Amino acid sequence: MVDGQLVVELKAIEGIAPIHVAQLLSYLKAARLRLGLLITFKVAFLRTGVRRVVHSP
């Protein structure tokens, strides 16, 4: 958690699967936060490994 406003989940996987997004959404719901970042480092370019996830209650 960053500054009590953002959840950042770091992974070392080749691709972001729906289960990873669901996991981050669960964290956001539990923490009652709206914004999260899912970042994987096992990609050629880091920008392709970043996914913004928004929980809208």
Q: Which of 40, 33, 46 is nearest to 1 (CA)?
A: 33
Once rounded to an integer, what is the mean pLDDT over residues 18-36? 96
Q: What is the percentage of the chain residues whose pLDDT exceeds 90? A: 82
Alpha helices in 1-57 (DSSP H): 18-31
Residue 42: predicted pLDDT? 92
pLDDT bucket at 35, cuts 50 / 70 / 90:
very high
Once rounded to an integer, what is the mean pLDDT over residues 24-50? 94
Residue 57: predicted pLDDT? 76
Number of C-alpha atoms within 13 angstroms, CB side, residue 35? 6
Number of C-alpha atoms within 13 angstroms, CB side, residue 14? 0
pLDDT bucket at 15, cuts 50 / 70 / 90:
confident
pTM over cut 0.85: yes
